[in-house]
């Protein structure tokens, strides 16, 4: 019996083990090894990629100014390439990936950046839009004439004074209802103000258009309906305001000087305003002389009644307002009197002569 059992057992030793449904242990070990290697590779690549991304985001080295001009229609990828080529950012490829995630585009124009900027700082600077172009500040004081304005434009904007004067006297500009079409001269209508012009590309015509547009904007709120009540046109209001601008030395005198002008016009007296003679003075350096007062010109309001043919300067808003709303007084004369530059007023010629003796040296 024992022999049978041994025999049976010996026969069973040659039979294979029943199939368990799992791969052999050696095969399983090989797959685990492959998976571990793949995991370690992926981990290494991820770490390297993150480190590279962080390096691309960062910055090092000196920061020197860079002017970057983004052309119209440039794609975000093209802009990133420009940034990389100019040394503004470290990486081009990674930056394009970041840009796509932000779904960002950039406005055409000129940007002032630096080399070695952090990626986020460079993108934010571009997102804020192009830098404002350099400008030149042009200030025109109240009471300046065309010749003075042209000289200042030449000095600051490098437009020949002759070009501005030629355009201003061409008769091709109008500003209805203040400056009727066909009016030859723009004297009085280049509004005194402070302007910002580009540092290049300006012309005499573009400067004139800017100043005329400012005139329209600035005077829109004045009571122009009063002109008809005063018996003058809008253009003549500017002429009267220009005389007030050149005559008044202190603000409180403007409305009273306006009253003297209207009162003299109404009674048919010559205006006798020296500022109109100064406008045609061939030698302003020595002041008004006796011969100047006898110059035969429609601008000599000592000899010719009525208003001069054009304004004699660019009036500011206070003088324009005084011309439209003169003081309600009957004065016909005034004399410069006092160190502060104020005038003394009267409606009597005899009192006027006394004021002259007292106030004038």
Q: pLDDT tens digit string along 296-332?
A: 999 999 999 999 999 999 999 999 999 999 999 999 9
> Residue 116: pLDDT band by 50, 70, 90 thresholds?
confident
Mean pLDDT of 150-163: 97
Same domain, 231 and 332: yes
Are 170 and 185 in contact by the 8 Å Cβ rule? The answer is: no
Answer whether residue 3 shows pLDDT above 80.
no
Same domain, 119 and 214: no
pLDDT of residue 193: 97
Answer whether residue 258 shows pLDDT above 50.
yes
Answer whether residue 58 shows pLDDT above 70.
no
Q: Which residue has the higher pLDDT, 89 or 230?
A: 230
Q: What residue numbers bound the domain in which 237 lies?
A: 226-359
pLDDT of residue 175: 94
- Domain stop point among 219, 248, 271: 219
Answer whether residue 215 shows pLDDT above 80.
yes
Same domain, 286 and 343: yes
pLDDT of residue 120: 77
Answer whether residue 187 shows pLDDT above 90.
yes
Same domain, 166 and 231: no
From residue 276, alpha-carbon distances to 35, 243, 246, 280, 300 in Å are: 101, 7, 9, 7, 6
Q: What are phi and psi of 357, to 5 degrees?
A: -65, -35
pLDDT of residue 12: 47
pLDDT of residue 131: 75
Cβ-Cβ contacts under 8 Å for 170 (sequence gap 6 or more) = 184
pLDDT of residue 269: 96
pLDDT of residue 200: 85
**CA separation for the pair 6, 12 (Å, rounded):** 10
pLDDT of residue 263: 98
> Residue 271: pLDDT band by 50, 70, 90 thresholds?
very high
Same domain, 210 and 266: no
Instruction: Let me know if residue 46 belongs to a domain.
Output: no
Mean pLDDT of 13-29: 58
- Say how far residue 98 (Cα) sits from the centre of its chain: 35
pLDDT of residue 211: 97
Mean pLDDT of 143-156: 97
Residue with the two structure tokens 């981990």: 43
Answer whether residue 25 shows pLDDT above 80.
no
Cβ-Cβ contacts under 8 Å for 220 (sequence gap 6 or more) = none
Q: Is 334 helix (H, G, I), strand (E, B) or coil?
A: strand
Same domain, 111 and 185: no
Same domain, 241 and 147: no
> Residue 84: pLDDT band by 50, 70, 90 thresholds?
confident
Cβ-Cβ contacts under 8 Å for 58 (sequence gap 6 or more) = 90, 118
Answer whether residue 137 shows pLDDT above 90.
yes
Instruction: Let me know if residue 51 belongs to a domain.
Output: no
Instruction: Let me know if residue 11 belongs to a domain.
Output: no
Query: What percentage of the chain reaches a pLDDT higher than 90?
Result: 56
Answer whether residue 13 shows pLDDT above 50.
no
Looking at the structure of the chain, the number of domains it has is 3
Instruction: Let me know if residue 52 belongs to a domain.
Output: no
Mean pLDDT of 154-181: 96
As given in the structure block, the two tokens for residue 183 are 């009016």
Q: Is 309 helix (H, G, I), strand (E, B) or coil?
A: coil
From residue 135, alpha-carbon distances to 84, 92, 189, 196, 262 in Å are: 29, 34, 23, 6, 43
Instruction: Let me know if residue 53 belongs to a domain.
Output: no
Closest by Cα among 222, 251, 224, 248 to 236: 224
Same domain, 187 and 261: no
Same domain, 301 and 338: yes
Instruction: Let me know if residue 300 belongs to a domain.
Output: yes
Residue 92 is part of a domain; what is its CATH number?
3.30.1490.480
pLDDT of residue 33: 66
Same domain, 74 and 187: no
Same domain, 175 and 100: no
pLDDT of residue 202: 93
Answer whether residue 207 shows pLDDT above 50.
yes
pLDDT of residue 24: 66
Answer whether residue 123 shows pLDDT above 90.
no
Answer whether residue 149 shows pLDDT above 60.
yes
Q: What is the pLDDT of residues 227-256, one digit of tens each?
A: 999 999 999 999 999 999 999 999 999 999
Mean model confidence pLDDT for the chain: 85
**CA separation for the pair 209, 189 (Å, rounded):** 11
Same domain, 257 and 334: yes
Instruction: Let me know if residue 16 belongs to a domain.
Output: no
- Domain stop point among 95, 127, 159: 127
**DSSP 3-state percent helix, strand, coil across the chain (nearest 5):** 50, 10, 45
Are 235 and 333 in contact by the 8 Å Cβ rule? The answer is: no
Mean pLDDT of 128-137: 83
- Domain stop point among 197, 219, 241: 219
């Amino acid at each position: 019996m024992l022999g049978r059992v041994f025999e049976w057992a010996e026969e069973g030793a040659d039979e294979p083990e029943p199939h368990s449904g799992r791969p052999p242990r050696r095969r399983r070990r090989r797959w685990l090894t492959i998976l571990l290697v793949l995991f370690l590779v992926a981990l290494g690549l991820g770490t390297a990629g993150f480190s590279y991304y962080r390096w691309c985001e960062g910055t090092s080295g000196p920061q020197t100014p860079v002017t970057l001009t983004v052309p119209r229609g440039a794609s975000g990828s093209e802009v990133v390439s420009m940034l990389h080529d100019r040394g503004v950012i470290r990486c081009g490829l990674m930056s394009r990936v970041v840009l796509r995630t932000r779904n960002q585009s950039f406005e055409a124009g000129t940007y002032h950046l630096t080399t070695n900027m952090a990626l986020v700082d460079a993108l934010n600077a571009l997102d804020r839009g192009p830098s404002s172009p350099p400008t030149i500040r042009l200030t025109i004081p109240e009471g300046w004439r065309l010749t003075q304005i042209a000289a200042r434009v030449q000095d600051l904007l490098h437009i020949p004074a002759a070009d501005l004067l030629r355009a201003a006297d061409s008769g091709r500009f109008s500003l209805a209802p203040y400056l009727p079409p066909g009016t030859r001269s723009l004297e009085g209508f280049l509004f005194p103000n402070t302007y910002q012009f580009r540092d290049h590309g300006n012309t005499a015509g573009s400067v004139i258009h800017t100043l005329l547009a400012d005139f329209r904007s600035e005077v829109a709120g004045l009571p122009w309906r009063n002109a008809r009540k005063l018996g003058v046109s809008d253009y003549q209001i500017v002429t009267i305001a220009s005389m007030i601008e050149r005559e008044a030395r202190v603000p409180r005198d403007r409305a009273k000087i306006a009253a003297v002008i209207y009162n003299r016009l109404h009674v048919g007296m010559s205006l006798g305003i020296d500022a109109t003679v100064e406008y045609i003075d061939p030698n302003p350096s020595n002041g008004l002389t006796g011969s100047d007062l006898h110059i035969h010109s429609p601008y000599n309001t000592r000899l010719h009644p009525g208003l001069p043919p054009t304004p004699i300067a660019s009036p500011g808003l206070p003088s324009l307002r005084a011309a439209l709303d003169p003081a309600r007084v009957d004065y016909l004369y005034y004399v410069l009197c006092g160190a502060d530059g104020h005038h003394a007023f009267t409606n009597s010629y005899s009192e006027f002569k006394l004021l002259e003796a007292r106030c004038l040296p």
